[in-house]
A and B are shown apart, each in its own frame.
Chain A
Amino acid sequence: MTRELWKGNEAIAEASVRAGLEAYFGYPITPQTEVLEYLSRRMPELGRTFVQAESELGAINMVYGAACTGVRVMSSSSSPGVSLMMEGISYIAGTEIPAVLINVMRGGPGLGNIAPSQGDYNQAVRGGGHGDYQPIVLAPASVQEAIDLTVLSFDLAERYRSICMVILDGSVGQMMEPAQMPEMQPVQRKDWEWATNAKMGKRERRVLTSIYLDPIQEEKLNLRLIQRWKQIQANEVRYKEYFLDDAEFVIVGFGTAGRVALSAVRTARQRGIKVGLLRPITVSPFPHEVIDQLAGRVEAFLVTEMNSGQMLEDVRLAVKGRVPVEFYGRMGGVVPFTEEILHEIERITTSKLSLDENPRDAWFERMMSSR
């Protein structure tokens, strides 16, 4: 198969079609709207379901209904729209059914702006909605990866009867890159043992619900969700390593922040600095183990994000205070330049770092004194 030039959002839309998407429900919001527009043409062409919902509330509950029947179903949105979907996401988690959701994140909080951001990390990886659950969250850094992870998200959602979210920022959604599409998978209606697709003379009736009035039964569900999460943690952690073999310093960054960090790392290497990059692909489950191992042999970490240090906390949990963890972030829709990260690399490799300092506080002070 050949590589073609694809725009991130349209690539995600076509990848979902090729993964056997049977129904899409969405609502316009920049910088995600191309997913909706692309599928409004593509889905009917293939005799599949497309509905522009009245709101993200409507969209996620249409997803919920269709997911109950066992078909491959998806919605996409951007930060404010995803906030509106949190009710439905929690219900889907509580009902233990698979669904895929794309979040092309933008600057916030509130209406914010339409520039690229990673401000929804905490909302995504901690669940965001009410109650105890953890979604699978994938974070692509290129158009090709957005395609591959979209396809993967359907498999993971089904395998673990879970919400699988793909979070990217507007720059991956909007950029054009050469990429290869997977082959078209045939739509397969799997007759899941849980699907409420009507008895049809074949079986006893089924019910799908997220209510467990008896606390003991609800706790059983909570335990079941954790059990499933343990399997996800054991089997599905994904990340990419760059120049880590002999690295003395490690940058950790996901999505676009990881991509910018990579070009900074390349330049630093040319200057002889022994720095490497760890780019989490599953930000949930988080790659704690590899960071744990690295913490035993490197001098310091630098976490770079397009937010105020959300993933930073996960890195610190894995490092457990053994070596300094430093932070550099831009917010509000500002994408860091390679030079900024390079400057940070130089700072951490040449100055004496403290183990006691709170990296977020220190970063904040540097930010404030530099303006």
Chain B
Amino acid sequence: MTTTAPENLVYDRPEGFTDTPTHYCPGCTHGVAHRLVAEVLEEMGVLDKTIGVAPVGCAVFAYNYFDTDFVEAPHGRAPAMATGIKRVLPDRIVFTYQGDGDLASIGMGEIVHAAARGENLTVIFINNANYGMTGGQMAPTTLPGMKTTSSPNGRDVETQGYPIRMAEMLSTLDGAGYVVRRSLHDPKNIRLAKKAIRLAFETQARGLGFSMVELLSTCPTNWGMTPVNSLKFVEEHMVPAFPLGDYKVAAGIAQIKI
């Protein structure tokens, strides 16, 4: 008689996902960020009362992947749309998912004022240092000297300005409850990112104000790198320019046990 060891399931599709496979390029960390959000919403048991707001950018089709209600915002306007939703349905969980062109360039006004008003919503901010969807143009987060299709000789700070550090900037606002930066370049950092995403949604669930998790991410396609090299690029070049850390953790949030 043969005996088989009981199956040990170590990896499965989170309930927070639909059955639709994502359209992201191989090695792109948008998929990782999606999975973390889906896991957190599932673990908190809030899928049923969550409404997501998708951006314009590579994540425009985020609404196909999460098993929650979703709306799709004009470029940069997700925080304003989310404000409209959350103000009339304050008991729902409302989050935006935005890229760096979306949030830090065209949508700068909307994000700053949502944070300043202390809108009780959660922002997942994907910083991949370029405009992924439109083919890799310079973003406000593009590193000095970094080549993109609209800074072909490398970003020249004299004429094209300096990168914007959103987490630091928003943390100065009194309305911000929880504002941190994490990275998705290795398993340890991914685990830390998930914890931060959980804390951001817990901040909202407790009505403690605006929460944002900035996630340093890859865009292997437009960076012209292999997935592995793009992860290395994040670690070696992006982390020094965009230091990881907790920029704002309002009183009451640090004590949250998860």
Contacts and interface: CB of A to CB of B under 8 A. Distances in A.
Contacts of B72: 207-211
A62 B84 contact: yes
Given A54-B109, A58-B110, A199 B69 contact: yes
B80 A208 contact: no
Interface stretch (B49-57, B122-130, B156-164, B218-226): B49-57
Interface stretch (A66-74, A253-261, A352-360): A66-74
A198 B89 CA distance: 9
A65 interface: yes
B68 to A, nearest CB: 6
A207 B89 CA distance: 17
A278 B80 CA distance: 41
Contacts of B82: 65
Tell me the dominant secondary structure on chain A's binding face: mixed
A62 B81 contact: yes
B201 to A, nearest CB: 14
A28 to B, nearest CB: 15
B241 interface: no
A87 B73 CA distance: 11
Contact of A62 (B68, B74, B80): B80
A198 B69 CA distance: 5
A102 to B, nearest CB: 17
Contact of B77 (A66, A67, A88): A88
Given A23-B87, A57-B80, A208-B72, A197 B113 contact: no
B92 interface: yes
Interface in B66-103: 67-74, 77, 80-85, 87-89, 92
B48 A68 contact: no
A68 B54 CA distance: 13
A61 B81 contact: yes
A200 B48 contact: yes
A197 B89 contact: yes
A207 B81 contact: no
Contact of A209 (B49, B71, B84, B109): B71
Contacts of A67: 84
Given A54-B110, A200-B48, A49 B88 contact: yes
Interface in A175-219: 196-201, 205-211
B83 A200 contact: no
A64 interface: yes
Contacts of A62: 80-81, 83-84, 87
B193 to A, nearest CB: 25
Contacts of A69: 51, 84-85, 88-89
A68 B87 CA distance: 12
B60 interface: yes
B84 A23 contact: yes
B121 to A, nearest CB: 10
A62 B94 CA distance: 13
Contacts of A59: 80
A150 B132 CA distance: 44
A196 B109 contact: no
A22 interface: yes
Contact of A25 (B51, B71, B84, B112): B84
Nearest to A210: B72
A349 interface: no
A316 to B, nearest CB: 36
B247 interface: no
A66 B87 contact: yes
Contacts of A61: 73-74, 77, 80-81, 84, 110
B68 A198 contact: yes
B110 A197 contact: no
Nearest to A67: B84
Contacts of A198: 48-51, 68-69, 89, 92
Given A54-B109, A64-B81, A201-B48, A87 B71 contact: no
Interface string B24-55: 00000000000000000000000111110110
A63 interface: yes
Contacts of A66: 84-85, 87-88
A342 interface: no
- Top 8 nearest A-B pairs (CB, nearest first) are A65-B84, A65-B81, A61-B80, A66-B84, A209-B72, A54-B113, A62-B84, A61-B77
Interface of B: 18, 47-51, 53-54, 60, 63-64, 67-74, 77, 80-85, 87-89, 92, 109-110, 112-113, 117
Interface of A: 22-23, 25, 49, 51, 53-55, 57-59, 61-69, 71, 73, 87-88, 91, 95, 196-201, 205-211
25 contacts: A22-B88, A49-B88, A58-B77, A62-B87, A64-B80, A65-B80, A65-B81, A66-B88, A68-B84, A68-B85, A69-B84, A69-B88, A71-B88, A87-B77, A88-B77, A196-B69, A197-B69, A197-B92, A198-B51, A198-B92, A199-B68, A200-B49, A205-B18, A207-B69, A209-B70
